[in-house]
Chain A
Amino acid sequence: MGQLIFRFLVGGLIVSFFAALGDVLKPKSFAGLFGAAPSVGLATLALTSISDGKMYAALEARSMAAAAASFLIYACLCSRLLMRWQWHAAKTTIMALTVWFAVSSALWFAFLK
């Protein structure tokens, strides 16, 4: 339980740090880079390397690279829908998460399972 709380705090802090960096930077397209910062990855891989070993963390990182490809497709789709179709940001970004799940699952089944 203690380790979970520690993970929660470390994850929350690193994510908030990158999000705040994105808030203060201009222009918007540059600030957007921080929306795909390795915040959850940093927190998890550092803690996992200590608790479960470096090989275990490396396997997580390999899956993370595959999921980053899904993130790329997800973000391109969001940008396209917002710019061309003028959908609301909340609706667009939440609905498009299904695409992230679909692509990530497909990559996992095809290459990582």
Chain B
Amino acid sequence: MLVSLNPSALRQTRWYEYAVRFFFGGAVTVVAGLIAKKYGPTLGGLFLAFPAIFPASATLVEKHEREKKKKAGIFKTRRGRQAAALDAYGAALGAIGLLGFGLIVWMANPRLDSILVLTLATCAWAAVSVFLWRLRKTPFWP
């Protein structure tokens, strides 16, 4: 399946749904910083890979899919949960890329310029995630 861009999907999301994601993103960034200050960077660092907005995103995916079916006159459907499951499957592949991101920053940040390291690590996250997605487009659940 080809990857496509659908900008009109932005209009499906309501302003408060954007606000919730902004709030959780900001809150986790602050909390991670506070925990690192109080208990040290090894504990605070864990929260840099906390699934902060994933529950909100998966819930939105399910809701939007259900609303789409409702508009088409289908009121009882599994489609919303299946779409959320696929979203979670993609996140699992992205998490492997995230692991690569963390390892690159851990090893390269003390030696190289931080902006360069973060740029390289982000590119590595994207490359690993997309490669894995292309390799395995369908979930491996039996």
The answer to whether A9 touches B110, judged by C-beta atoms less than 8 angstroms apart, is no
Instruction: Determine how close the nearest CB of chain A comes to the CB of B36; give it in whole angstroms.
Output: 6
**In the complex, which residues of chain B have a beta carbon less than 8 angstroms from the beta carbon of A55?**
109-110
**In the complex, which residues of chain A have a beta carbon less than 8 angstroms from the beta carbon of B98?**
36-38, 41, 64-65, 68, 71
Q: Which residues of chain A from 4 to 60 have any CB-CB distance to chain B below 8 Å in the complex?
A: 4, 7-16, 19-20, 22-50, 52, 54-60
The answer to whether A108 touches B91, judged by C-beta atoms less than 8 angstroms apart, is no
Bound Cα distance A1, B94 (Å): 33
Q: How large is the interface on B (under 10, 10 to 19, 20 to 34, 35 or more residues)?
A: 35 or more
The answer to whether A44 touches B90, judged by C-beta atoms less than 8 angstroms apart, is no
The answer to whether A16 touches B86, judged by C-beta atoms less than 8 angstroms apart, is no
Report which A residues bind B (CB closer than 8 A).
4, 7-16, 19-20, 22-50, 52, 54-72, 74-76, 78-80, 82-84, 86-90, 92-94, 97, 100, 104, 108, 112-113
Residue of A nearest to B140 (CB): A76
Residue of A nearest to B80 (CB): A89
Q: Which residues of chain B from 2 to 20 have any CB-CB distance to chain A below 8 Å in the complex?
A: 3-7, 9-10, 12-13, 18
Q: Which residues of chain B from 41 to 83 have any CB-CB distance to chain A below 8 Å in the complex?
A: 41-55, 57-62, 78, 80-83
The answer to whether A19 touches B57, judged by C-beta atoms less than 8 angstroms apart, is yes
**Which residue among A20, A46, A47, A72 has the maximum number of chain B CB atoms within 10 Å of its CB?**
A72
